[in-house]
Each structure stands twice: as structure tokens, then as C-alpha cells.
Structure 1
Amino acid sequence: MEAKIDKSKLSETDIISKFILPAVKKVGWDDMTQIRQEVKLRDGKVIVRGNAAARRTVKSADIVLYHKPSMPLAVIEAKANKHEIGKGMQQGLDYANLLDVPFIFASNGDGFIFHDKTNATTLETEIALADFPTPQQLWDKFCNWKGYKTENLPIITQDYYDDGSGKSPRYYQLQAINKTVEAVAAGQDRVLLVMATGTGKTYTAFQIIWRLWKAKAKKRILFLADRNILVDQTKNNDFQPFGTAMTKVTGRTVDPAFEVHLALYQALTGPEEQQKAYKQVDPNFFDLIVVDECHRGSAAEDSAWREILDYFSSATQIGLTATPKETEEVSNIEYFGEPIYTYSLKQGIEDGFLAPYKVIRVDIDVDVQGWRPTKDQVDKHGELIEDRIYNQKDFDRTLVIDERTELVAKTITSYLQKTDPMAKTIVFCDDIDHAERMRRALVNLNPEQVAKNEKYVMKITGDDEIGKAQLDNFINPKKKYPVITTTSELMTTGVDAKTCKLVVLDQSIQSMTKFKQIVGRGTRIDDKYGKLWFTILDFKKATELFADEHFDGIPERVKVTKPEDFDNEDELTDIIDGTGEDETANPFGDEEMDDTIQEPDAPYEPNANSADNANLGGDDWTEESDKVRKFYVNGVAVKALAERIQYYDSDGKLVTESFKDYTRKTIIKEFASLDEFAKKWQASDRKQAIIDELADMGVIWEVLEQEVGKELDPFDMICHVVYDMPPLTRKERADQVKKRNYFTKYGDVAQQVLQSLLDKYADAGVSEVENITVLKVAPFTELGSMTEIIKQGFGGKPQYLAAIQELEAQLYSIDSQTA
């Protein structure tokens, strides 16, 4: 007769393998395709303080059940049998929300608590192990809950592309893909996806197109972008699996032999009729159009590029953007509708998929106080300077002060020298002239680096072919050079610089859209190359936009129309409802069209009078000498008034505080008093576990050591920083234990081991005491092998571990703390 298993002594892993999985497989769930264990949904938020960073550890969903790889259905969260049957439910609900599934099961091996969001009357019920639902039962309930129509199921259930490498869409990408495919299958012809820069919009778009194409729901697809680099990156990277079915539109010819077309707007249209290549094909030629970065040219009703979308109006059109544009003139939401899915910068940082940032804001005296020329003062070129007070918005646009440029360049150089001189850096300047002057200043301040490689500093702007040619090297983590780039508009978007660690803002930025795009240059994470966070060095108060309520959200629709612009009330109603057209805008209309790179196949230029173009000159257009009158002066005493360092906190706000303040607030939330903390520390078998736990909360020991002192034990560090106790160094603690001479109850070998462990503690901390393998190194090796030391000195491993616990109790005794 088989012995009965005592569940109470089994681990959570045993409960899963011996009870939960057998119950699930017994009713028909396929172990190879429908069951996944330890599904990691988040990467773990990166906590940054000072120049150090650490990832929080994240738990994985114990089990996720799938109809197909693209269709998750249920989450099962297990706990050891010593816990109540439903203990894992709240954890399971969290995972289910990420996966957008309605079924959650919690179990301790005795049965299941079943949370069913499709059940309107009873959300949670207890069911026996033998009564776990079959795959068909859950799938039928899921389809009813989603409202799927039978005729749409072949499209909805089409698998995503799998290259066999194990790469699969992240949870938010899968949500975006599934919601879009479902909407298209249901007949929705305009879809907007909002995903923060660096979260894989193009990969998501590829999977959407792949599923619709493979299901034969869409046969001819157009992927539209307004920058050549975006088209080429897409074709060569994410879209590569389309192979010979794909082409890039060149030479203003749309080749009907291909099914997937990637194109620049500029290659399809222009102001002259003969340039409108899209008219070569029938309006019904494309049945799916995906618009990348749709906040730019295609957003404006009057944009020359909107005519392409209007011509192919019968096609399903999907807009992708990190920054939906909602201004008085332009509305993405009006055209595409409310976003079907949104994944924000804040959420990306919380999940650990995007890099957090710290902000260093430098206020310069002339920016704050203004500068006025003396009577009849002329600039370096003999030009009479207009007599008025020049302020921050004027500098580098209408007035150049050489010393101000020099100060900014010195600050950048100093930061890099203190942190990492080879950290990839983008310096955003007001115009091409400013970018060139900044390049020169940085070259002169970094002669040793430039001597090693003259491409250490490069200007990358639309007018400079040599600089533009270095863009690929800058964004390639394997290429060391260029390190510092100066730019104005060219690198605001479409630059996938995964290892960019420093974003410098010496540009006046009023547009929230533009600000988000620029911040996005640093938000990518690259663990392989140690890029977990980045710094924003702000000289022009641009980061005040972080405080804007719309920084991380979906903007309200604020498009303004004027009654006098229309002939009658009905026409006005059409505009307000989003069905009419505004006839008042400029022929090229988009205020941010100077973001667009002029490619050889794009001979026309946008309206030279657009707001940004008039103010900036732009990277991508030839600057006109009479566009902006600019004075150049030197001999002005310039200095930095203040420097503030701010961090992104868990609420998505920037906070200004020392790391000691952060540590104090964080730990007080967990341990309200010194007594609580001391009890937890004393009760722990392994002090390293508490150290790791605090690190997960963002307490980075390296930074604390820099602020407080390197000889303190983590216990003393916390007691001192959080609870204002006088600190003892590790050596002082070790010496006090030696004075007590409590070792005398042990034999000679054990006494020598414990004395040496105290010395190790004084040098390197408690982790050395708790690591049993320390017995394999000197001076312990003089006493014998690790096995011999444990057996002969202590009588066995349990006795050795007990001696270590007693040693730690002596180290952290109350007498030690108050001595």
C-alpha cells in the first residue's frame, strides 16, 4: 500500500508538480503547447541613486494556460500547503491583469479557488482538484466573454511569428497585438496604438501585420514612415521574416508584384501631380496601412501626406505613436479614434523594460538674470546689437555668448570625466549653428580623447553628410565612436541608441511631443552593455515639462475650431464631431515637419514659415542667412548659479533628495522603529537575505557607502542613517566580540576559525561570515579542507551553522549597539 504524502511538509514546487500539474493535465491540457511554468512578465524596476543602479527582483507567474501561444487564458498561482487555499489569489489577479485574461486559480494542493471574471453572479468558487476545467470549457467561456464571432476566429487565433529563438512578445506587446487583431477582425478600420519610445512599437506592428497577412485577412500592406532610417531599420530588422514578399518603395514606383511595401511619404507624394506615385495604383490596392510615428506629418488634416491616407481610405489604417498629438490644429485621436491600447513611459519604467532617469538641472546666471548690451555695443562681427534684455529663450537663437557655450561644454565634460568619458551622449542644441559651436567647444575641452579618435565628438545634423554617416556607428553598441554627438532636430526621433547614457538639453523646448521624443532617446535598456539608466543634463529648464499633467498620460483632445471658419452651423457640427475638414490650415500644415529628413527622392520642402522652421532653422533644411538675425558676443562673465539633482520616484514624479533621505523614507515604511528593524535582523538566519531584500527596495549600498562611509556594516548603516544611532565600524564590532572572549567553550580549531571569520567580517562584511565556501581560502586552508574543518572543529555542518548564528548574535547584540 502506497504511503500517504504529508502535504504540510512539501514545498510550493512539490505542490505544483505532485498535485496541481497532474490535475490540469488529467483534463486534457497539453504540456507542450498550452502550459507554461514560471512565466516572467516583468523585468524588475531599476532603482537609481548616485551613479549606481540595482534591479528589483520580480516574481514569475507560477503557471499560465494558453489556447495557443498568442492566446493566454488563465493564471494558476500556487502556495505551499501550510497556507490557506486561496492565498495566491491577489498575486494571480495581478498577473491576469497584465495578460488580460479572466480566469485565475489559486491552490495549495487541496483544491482550487477559481476566480471567474466571466461569471456575473459569483466571482469566486472553490472547486476540487478533479474538477479543473477542460481546455474547451475555458476557451468557450473566453470567446463568449470577448464576444468573438465564429467567422472571425481564424484571424483572431492566428499565431504570431516565432523564429525558434524563444523570443516572444512581452505581455504589453501581446495585449497590443491581440487587441488590434481583434478590432480589425471585427471590422474596425481606424486603430491607434500608443506605446512609449523603446517599448518595441515596430516589433509589435510586425506581429500585427504578420498575423493578419498569414490569416489572409490582409493581402497588400503599406508601412509608412517619414524618415529613411525608420524604413531601413524596419526592413532590415523586425520585418525581415517577410523575405521576398517585401519591398521598399524607391524611384516613385509602386510594384504590384510585392505584398508588403515599406515607404517614405516623400517617395509616394509631392506638391506636383507627377510626384504622386501612390496614384499609380487603384485606391483599393492596399487593404492595410500602418503609419509609424503618426504624431508627425499624417496627423494634420491639411498635411500633404494625409492625402495618401485619404486616397486609400478603404484600407484599414493603424497609427503607431509614443506621443499622440493633440493641439489646437492637429489631432491623432480625431482621425484614428481613441487609443485601443496604451503603454506609458511610467509603466515601462515600473516594469523594468525602460530605463529610469535622473535629472541634473543647471541654472546659469545670464539665463536667470538676463543680459543687456552696453550703449552702442557691437558684436564680434561689428553688428550693432539691438538694445534690449536678452533671456534664456534668446540665447543661441538670436544672441550667442561664447562663454555660455563654453560653460555648458565644460559642465558636460566634467560630468563625463567623473562618471564615464566613453558614455554615449547626445547634446540637443537650438540649431545647426549652435550644434557646430558646441561640437567645437567639446573638442577643445577633450584634447586627449580626440587625440585617441577624432570622432570622439561629432556633429550629426541634416546638412552634414559626414556627420550623418556616423549615425549608425553612434547607435551601434559595439562601436566605441562617436561618443558625444551634437544635433538639433535630426536625432529627436527614429534613433535607436540603446546605450545612450547622457541626454543634454541646451535647447528651448515648448512642445510636449518633442520633449517626450527627446527623453525617449535615453529610455532603452541594454543589460549586456550595462545601460540600465540615463541622465538628463538640462540647461534650459526643459525638464519643467515633467511636471505637466499630460507628460505621461493621454492628452485630452484640444483641437480648436472657430465658428467664423465655416459657412454654416452644420459644417461646424461636422468638425466638432470629427467628420468634417478644417479648410483654414497651411498647405503643408504640420508644425513638426522640420523633423523630417530630406531624402534624395523627396525634392520638395515643407512650408518654410512653419513655427518650428522659422525659429530653429532645423537640421533638415538649408538655413537661410536672413531667417534669424543672430548676434555673437564674447567677454561676458558667465557662471552656474545652482545645480539640482532629481530622481524619478515610484509615483512617476521627480524628487530632489539625498540618498540618505530616500533610504530613511523607504525603510521607515517597512520598520517604524529601531526595535522592529533590530528584531527582524536578529531573527534572520541569514543577514544577507535582509540586505538583498532592502536592495530590492532600492537601498543601494554602494551609494550609501559613498555618502556615509565605507567601513560600516549594513546594520550600522541603517541604524545610523534611519534611526540616528551612533555608528560602529565593522572593526569596532569585531573587536568588541573578541574582548568578550566567548570562544573559550570551543576547541582550538573552532576558535581559530571564529577569530578569522571576525577578521573577514571587519574587512569585507557579514556576507563573508555567511558564505561557507570562505573556508576554502586562506587562512582557513592552513587548518585543513572545508570538510575537515567543519567535522573536526565543530562536529558537523549543523553545529557549524549554529556557531555562525551565535557569532552573528554576538556581533549584533544590544550591548554592542549601545557601547
Structure 2
Amino acid sequence: MDKKTLTERDICTKFINPALEQAGWDLQAQVREEVSFTAGRIIVRGRLHTRGKRRRADYVLSYKKNIPIAIIEAKDNNHSLGDGMQQALAYSDALDAPFVFSSNGDGFLFHDRTGLFGKTESTLALNEFPSPDTLWALYCRYKGIDQAAARQTVEQPYYDDGSGRSPRYYQTVAINRTVEAVARGQNRILLVMATGTGKTFTAFQIIWRLWKSKRKKRILFLADRNILVDQTKNNDFKPFGQAMTKVSNRTVDPSYEIYLSLYQAVTGSEEEQNIYKQFSPDFFDLVVIDECHRGSAAVDSAWRQILDYFSAATHIGLTATPKETREVSNIDYFGEPVYTYSLKQGIEDGFLAPYKVVRVDIDRDLQGWRPSKGQTDKNGELIEDRIYNQKDFDRNLVLEKRTELVARKVTEFMTQTAPYQKTIVFCEDIDHAERMRQALVNLNPQRVQENRKYIMRITGDEQEGKAELDNFINPEERYPVIATTSKLMTTGVDAQTCKLIVLDQRIQSMTEFKQIIGRGTRINDDYNKHWFTIIDFKKATELFADPDFDGDPVKVYSPRGDDPINPDDEHAPEDEQPDDMLGDEAGTYDVDPEEEWSSDDTPAGDWNNTNDDPPKRIKYVVGNVEVSVIAERVQYLGPDGKLITESLKDFTRQQVKERYATLSDFLRRWNEADRKQVIIDELAEQGVIWDDLIKEVSKKLGAEPDPFDVICHIVYDQPPLSRKERAEQVRKQNYFNKYEGASKQVLNALLDKYTDAGIEPIEDVKVLTLAPFSQIGAPMELLQAFGGKPGYTQAVKQLEDELYQQTS
């Protein structure tokens, strides 16, 4: 047998699989082949989308199901033994598997990341592959779980309902690292996972394995919003069945094992309201804190008292946005995260939706506005004489025409794109949210007449709006379409189909910004939700450029003895807000229940973190000041996870020239490609925004160009042709004269299809099942007109050569 003639798949079947079996690996239970572990980055094409390549490991080896311990990357025998090693190491990084192998069928190159095997890299013969027990024993030593009780905990299988649903790769890593940390005896654990990546399902699997292994027998799951507790109980935690209960604000029943509770349901300012004290301090041996960046993060919060009371238990904190300020620190309490899965990584893997940003700059925001001497507002209040700017608008001073302008821009965008796309408009406070609702209602009379709930204010102070929150987040409910809000919808709102986020709110807290962006990141295939748009009126998206936006949390907490904790200008803690995010059991407040007070809002000496209510702030209302948009630009999410800040043309030139330095290089690759669509898709993965580039060149041509012409024109300064012009040039060459009958009809129809829809459909043989081809003959008959499928494929290739001949 000549190994050099064998395919990679042959190498796997004839050499690698027998070597694994000989070493004692169960090919059915312990070995998975060709494992795709990402979904493929979503690439947006106008209103359509496609997926980039999935990451795929040739082999993932597990001692127990869903605990990957080894990766094998296979190559055909024309490659060296170690040619696949760097690729395998990259998969090892993602899957958290410390033993890495590459093979070409002659043997294995073994890379040991534990440092326990001997040399870091060594060559093994085919019959020297390590057994499952050998690698598992090394894995347990490496992870510090080599005691019998610890191994029993870690080996406890996941919950499996038989539906085929299993944790995604990053959820698997998060679950395994957390269970391993508990098995080692670690009592404070932090998990950081981006919004929309399944923290609750991950928490369920962690609790399930610890509970089933009897490592943890009584568990408390804490959340700070009623809807989160109910969603958890009815969905992900449902398999706990009769062992689970929700704690009410009455007497507790100690006969259950899994308890779900709202912070506010078990605490209060009066001792009798502290229901949690009906449990003994050692009742729970595990406490899981959802959204732990909120109330429990602050040292002096009432909610932290619960954690202090159950301090003997293991505490696991879950958050998308760990809070790290000079006053508040998740890391100080829980320690460094055992695992972080970021928004950037989620988008790159295709599990989270990408976004584009429309930045709208308003003249008064940038230039400011000053009242004339003695000017009063609509309510007769004398307006303080100073310059008001973006920081003041809708907080200290209302320009009514500014509100109308924002509402008009939002309405225009929705009218041009999708009038019924779920939209959240984030406003400065409840008053601003109500004025924005009114402005939007007046600009959308027809939609509101269809259904008065087309636009709703959903804020913490008003039951009618709050009652519509469930309908807004329910994909099956059309109404409400637009929700104006302030704080209520910043966190914990699982709005799977939200396609538009409008920021008319000045956001200084990175935690809050991440939470707001998280409202749009979920993907819902059933409702065609694969990306979203952010319209930013207040420069909030400048935070995307902050290194902290998607980086690892950095501990900056520095307690100063008995100093009082004061809100910080740059990171005004939303935990201090008495808003209705706290859930149904929360109390009522005299102040705006969604207002966020920071030190720059507070008049000196009037309110300095005392128990007194903050002073009523005067908000001037001015109706006769003209406002206008002075700049508007679209920013796109680049392949590196950062917003493209240069012009789209400059970015495209840079990306394409990295692959094809000259026009000749590009033409050579284009002409050699069996399918042109492959090149188009490759460039899309590099960040080329085809839809917007095509629109730009179309304006110049008055007709739609081929992607080929877009690149030649924008990158290499060649004059572009429209698809119609290219098709007409082919017809002028009398190209079809060498064909007759059905084959000539098919090629003519293909050229028409190219003119109408571009290169992609004519490269797919399925086009023969559509009109007008179906009227010429059945697909098999049409293929036979070319002597069979190879002849048809060759004819399409020659047609493409003719289409692009005059440029090359």
C-alpha cells in the first residue's frame, strides 16, 4: 500500500483508528471524529446572511462524555508527522484539552501541556498511543482532582434528556472548570460569560453534576429579578422537578433540596423581613448568584448579608459583566474568573449576533446651547445662564425638537429596513422615555392605529407598560414593536428578536454599556434574527474603543478602611439605583425608580450618600430651539471584533491587498477559481461588506455591479462595469453560436440569471430546477444536453471566463 496515495480520511480509517483501539479507546463512547465546535461567524449580506467556516477538530478524545482531554489532528501522508500540531494546539486552547497529537499515519507527534509526561513534545509509534486510563490519571493530577472523592464528583455525567441537546464547547469548558474547582475544595468561584451565551443552562449543568454526585446536597440559586427566577424554574431548571421550590416572602419549607429565590423576597430593612434567617447558616452547601455584578457585588449592600450569612457554603458567581471599580469588586470576593467567554469570542464563533453602528451627531449636542439673558422655559422657570451640552440634554434641560429629531431618525430607519423589528430605545430617565414614546407615536400614526401597543413605554413606575415586557420579549408576539425605557430593560431581558437598539442615553458605566449591548446579541434562526443595529445619538458607542469593553476584568478595588462608599463619576454603580429591576417584591420609591444618581448630578452639600431622599432636580423644557443632524456615519464590526473606524473603501483596500497585493494577483486567483463565490465568501470573512460597497458603486453606474468589479474599482482603481454590461459584451462576441438546442437556451438563461442576481445562482446546479430552466426541460435532460454534469460544469466555467475576459 502506497500511503502517499491515500486521502486524509483513509489515513484516519486505516491507521489512526486501529491505533486508538489497540490503546484501549472505545471508538463509540470516547472518540468523536470530525467535531465541529463553532457555528461559523455570521456574515451579513444586505438583509440576508451566510456563515463562515466552522472550526473542526479531526478527533476529540474524552475519558468521560463531555470532558475532552485530548485532540488529534490528522493529515495525509504527504505531510510530515507534526504538520497538524499548531492547528491542534489552537483547538486545544479552545476545548481545554491538555494532550495534543498530530499524525500522518506513520505515528504520532505528542505535545503534553501538563508537564507531567516527560518531554513537552515527543514522537510515538502507532502502537505507543497512551491508554485512556493513562491520560485520565495525568489529567486528574494536572487538575488537582486525583483524590477518589474529587474524581467521583468530576466523573458525574451531565444531565441528558435524550433530545440531543448538549452543552456548546465553551459551556463545557465553563462547567468542567467550575466542577473541578469545587472538587478541589475552592469555595469562591466566578464565571464570566457574555450575555446570550447560556449562563443559566451552564449553571443548571454545574448544579446537576454537583447534586447528583452528592458533593452538594442543598443548593440556593439567587437572582435579583422575578422574571429571571421564574424563567429559570420553568425552563433550564425544570429537570430538578419535585426537589425544587421557589422561596416566597413567607415561612420557608426545609424539605426541598434546590431553592430558587429573589434577593428581595428574603431580605428587608426589618428583621422579620429577613426570611433567609429561617434557614440555619449551614443549611446550604452551595449558593449560585446570578448576575453577581449587581447587588451582591457591593460590600455594604443588604444583599451581601445573605452571602455572609451562608458564608460556609461554596459561592459561584455568574455574570456577563464583572464589576471592577475602585469601590466594588467581584474579583475581590470570588477570585479571578475560572473561565471567561467574551462577546468578541461569541461573535467570532457564530453563537452571538454581530452588529453595525449608526452614529448620529446632532449640532446642539456638539456645539452646545446657551439661553438668552432672563430666558424662561415652557413652565416659566428661569433658565440658569450657562452652556448646556450633550451631558445636560434630557437630564437637566429638554430641547423638545431634539426629541422629535431622534424619533424621526429612528422612524426613518425602521421604515427603510423593517417597520416591525423589535426595537429598544434607551432614554435618560422615565420622563425622557415618556416624551420619546409620544414623539414616536406622532410619527407613526398608521402603525399605532393598527395596534396602540406598537409603541410602549416599559419602565419601572408604570404597570401598563411593565405588563407588556413579556410580550415584547416573546418572539411570537408582534406587539409591542418599539419599547422606550430607561433602566428597566438594561439587564436580564431575554429579547431574542431585538434587531434595533437606540442609544439616546449618556452611558459612562462599562458594566451598563455591556448589558445594553447584550440585549441585541442573541440569535434566533426561527425568526431570522442574525444581526442587529445600534443607532447612537450620544457617543455611547465610543466605549467600544475602550480596552475594557471586551477584555478581561482587571481588579482595581481598593477599600479604604471605614471610608463610606460613594458613587464614582466614571462608573456610577447601578446597584445603588432603587429601580424596579428589583422585581415584583421590590418596594416603592418617592424618587424616579429608574434614576441613576452619580456624584456629578448631586448639588454640593445637598445629598451626600445619606439616608435622605435626593433633592428634586429642576429640568428645564425649551420648545423653540432648532436642532439638526450635522454628521451621520455607519461603523461596521471588523473581523478582529473591533469597529471599523476608517472609511469602508479604505478598510476594503487594506483587507484585499493583504491577500492580493496587485491586480494581477487578484485576477490570477479569480480566473483559477472553480467557483467565484468561494472568493466572494472568503473576502466576506475578512470583513468586506459587500452589500454597502455594491450600493456605493451602483450609484456611480446607475446599475448593480458584479463583486468582481467592486474589488477592481475600489481596490485597484479600474473602471467598473455593471452585470448587465458584462452580459451584453458576452452576447456581442457571438459566444453562443457554438451551441444549439437546449444547451444554447440554458446558457442564454444563465446569462439572464447572472444579469438579474449575480454569479452565485449560476454556480449552483440547483438553478436548473427553477424557472425558466424548468420550462426548457427536466434537470437531467438539461445536463444531458451538455453530455452530462461534467460537460455542464465545464460550459458554466467557460461562460464565466467569457464574462470576465475583457478585464483580465
- Residue number among 70, 77, 97 corresponding to 1:74 in the alignment: 70
Residue 639 (structure 1) aligns with: 628
Aligned residue identity for 2:802: Q
CA contact (8 A) 2:40 2:348 kept: yes
**Offset of residue 747 of structure 1:** 6.5
| Aligned Cα root-mean-square deviation (Å) | 2.9
Residue 146 (structure 2) aligns with: 149
Query: Structure 2 CA distance, aligned partners of 1:269 and 1:777?
Result: 66
Query: Structure 2 CA distance, aligned partners of 1:199 and 1:190?
Result: 22
Aligned residue identity for 1:107: S
CA 1:48 to 1:751, structure 2 compared with 1: closer, same or farther past 3 Å? closer
Residue 138 (structure 1) aligns with: 135
Residue 344 (structure 1) aligns with: 342
18-27 or 158-167, larger mean C-alpha shift:
18-27
Which sections of structure 1, spanning at least 5 residues, go unmatched? 567-581, 617-622
Residue 659 (structure 2) aligns with: 670
1:273-315 C-alpha deviation (Å, 9 max, x unpaired): 1111111121111111111111111111111111111111111
Query: Structure 2 CA distance, aligned partners of 1:789 and 1:650?
Result: 41
- Residue number among 606, 612, 616 corresponding to 1:627 in the alignment: 616
Q: Secondary structure of the residue that 1:594 maps to in structure 2? A: coil
Query: Structure 2 CA distance, aligned partners of 1:689 and 1:598?
Result: 51
Aligned positions, number: 787
Matched, 1:228 2:226: yes
740-749 or 448-457, larger mean C-alpha shift:
740-749
**Offset of residue 97 of structure 1:** 0.9
Residue 440 (structure 1) aligns with: 438
254-263 or 538-547, larger mean C-alpha shift:
538-547
1:75-102 C-alpha deviation (Å, 9 max, x unpaired): 1222334433433222221111111111
1:383-420 C-alpha deviation (Å, 9 max, x unpaired): 22223222222221222221111111111111111111
309-318 or 534-543, larger mean C-alpha shift:
534-543
Query: Structure 2 CA distance, aligned partners of 1:695 and 1:745?
Result: 36
**Offset of residue 252 of structure 1:** 3.2
Matched, 1:806 2:798: yes
Query: Structure 2 CA distance, aligned partners of 1:312 and 1:724?
Result: 69
Q: Secondary structure of the residue that 1:612 maps to in structure 2? A: coil
CA contact (8 A) 2:224 2:582 kept: no
CA contact (8 A) 1:219 1:259 kept: yes
CA 1:746 to 1:525, structure 2 compared with 1: closer, same or farther past 3 Å? closer
- Residue number among 8, 24, 29 corresponding to 2:25 in the alignment: 29
CA 1:324 to 1:146, structure 2 compared with 1: closer, same or farther past 3 Å? same
- Residue number among 354, 367, 370 corresponding to 1:369 in the alignment: 367
CA contact (8 A) 1:219 1:287 kept: yes
- Residue number among 30, 35, 41 corresponding to 1:45 in the alignment: 41
Query: Structure 2 CA distance, aligned partners of 1:550 and 1:511?
Result: 11
Query: Structure 2 CA distance, aligned partners of 1:9 and 1:590?
Result: 64
1:738-760 C-alpha deviation (Å, 9 max, x unpaired): 44446666677655655554444
1:526-554 C-alpha deviation (Å, 9 max, x unpaired): 22212122122111222222222222223
Aligned residue identity for 1:509: I
CA contact (8 A) 1:594 1:606 kept: no
Query: Structure 1 CA distance, aligned partners of 2:156 and 2:356?
Result: 42
CA 1:134 to 1:349, structure 2 compared with 1: closer, same or farther past 3 Å? same
Query: Structure 2 CA distance, aligned partners of 1:559 and 1:695?
Result: 42
Matched, 1:533 2:531: yes
CA contact (8 A) 1:270 1:602 kept: no
Query: Structure 1 CA distance, aligned partners of 2:681 and 2:543?
Result: 35
Matched, 1:524 2:522: yes
CA contact (8 A) 1:477 1:529 kept: yes
Query: Structure 2 CA distance, aligned partners of 1:744 and 1:186?
Result: 78
CA contact (8 A) 2:144 2:184 kept: no
Query: Structure 2 CA distance, aligned partners of 1:628 and 1:370?
Result: 20
Residue 93 (structure 1) aligns with: 89
**Offset of residue 479 of structure 1:** 0.9
CA 1:393 to 1:122, structure 2 compared with 1: closer, same or farther past 3 Å? same
Aligned pairs for 1:173-322 (under 5 A) are 173-322=171-320
Matched, 1:20 2:13: no
**Offset of residue 221 of structure 1:** 0.8
CA contact (8 A) 2:694 2:707 kept: no
1:778-797 C-alpha deviation (Å, 9 max, x unpaired): 76678765555555x55554
CA contact (8 A) 1:296 1:593 kept: no
Query: Structure 2 CA distance, aligned partners of 1:193 and 1:651?
Result: 24
CA contact (8 A) 1:54 1:696 kept: no
Query: Structure 1 CA distance, aligned partners of 2:623 and 2:591?
Result: 35
CA contact (8 A) 1:416 1:423 kept: yes
Which sections of structure 2, spanning at least 5 residues, go unmatched? 568-572, 603-611
Query: Structure 2 CA distance, aligned partners of 1:746 and 1:50?
Result: 37
**Offset of residue 365 of structure 1:** 1.8
Q: Secondary structure of the residue that 2:250 maps to in structure 1? A: coil
Query: Structure 1 CA distance, aligned partners of 2:583 and 2:705?
Result: 60
CA 1:356 to 1:595, structure 2 compared with 1: closer, same or farther past 3 Å? farther
CA 1:10 to 1:508, structure 2 compared with 1: closer, same or farther past 3 Å? same
Query: Structure 1 CA distance, aligned partners of 2:212 and 2:102?
Result: 37
**Offset of residue 703 of structure 1:** 3.3
**Offset of residue 338 of structure 1:** 1.6
CA contact (8 A) 1:297 1:593 kept: no
Query: Structure 2 CA distance, aligned partners of 1:345 and 1:291?
Result: 21
Aligned pairs for 1:502-651 (under 5 A) are 502-562=500-560, 565=561, 591-599=575-583, 601-603=585-587, 612-613=596-597, 627-651=616-640
Query: Structure 1 CA distance, aligned partners of 2:688 and 2:592?
Result: 52
Aligned residue identity for 2:709: D
CA contact (8 A) 1:790 1:800 kept: yes
Aligned residue identity for 1:461: T
CA contact (8 A) 1:53 1:700 kept: no
CA contact (8 A) 1:425 1:483 kept: yes
Query: Structure 1 CA distance, aligned partners of 2:565 and 2:716?
Result: 65
- Residue number among 124, 129, 141 corresponding to 2:126 in the alignment: 129
CA contact (8 A) 2:460 2:594 kept: no
CA contact (8 A) 2:638 2:687 kept: no
CA contact (8 A) 2:460 2:488 kept: yes
CA 1:248 to 1:607, structure 2 compared with 1: closer, same or farther past 3 Å? farther
Query: Structure 2 CA distance, aligned partners of 1:608 and 1:699?
Result: 46
Aligned residue identity for 1:612: E
CA 1:69 to 1:593, structure 2 compared with 1: closer, same or farther past 3 Å? farther
Matched, 1:817 2:807: yes
Query: Structure 1 CA distance, aligned partners of 2:499 and 2:557?
Result: 36
CA contact (8 A) 2:430 2:592 kept: no
CA 1:116 to 1:626, structure 2 compared with 1: closer, same or farther past 3 Å? closer
Residue 55 (structure 2) aligns with: 59
CA 1:726 to 1:441, structure 2 compared with 1: closer, same or farther past 3 Å? same
Aligned pairs for 1:160-175 (under 5 A) are 160-175=158-173
Query: Structure 1 CA distance, aligned partners of 2:707 and 2:359?
Result: 32
**Offset of residue 11 of structure 1:** 3.4
1:326-370 C-alpha deviation (Å, 9 max, x unpaired): 222212111111222111222222222222222222222222222
TM-score normalised by L of structure 2: 0.91
CA 1:148 to 1:381, structure 2 compared with 1: closer, same or farther past 3 Å? same
Query: Structure 1 CA distance, aligned partners of 2:679 and 2:184?
Result: 52
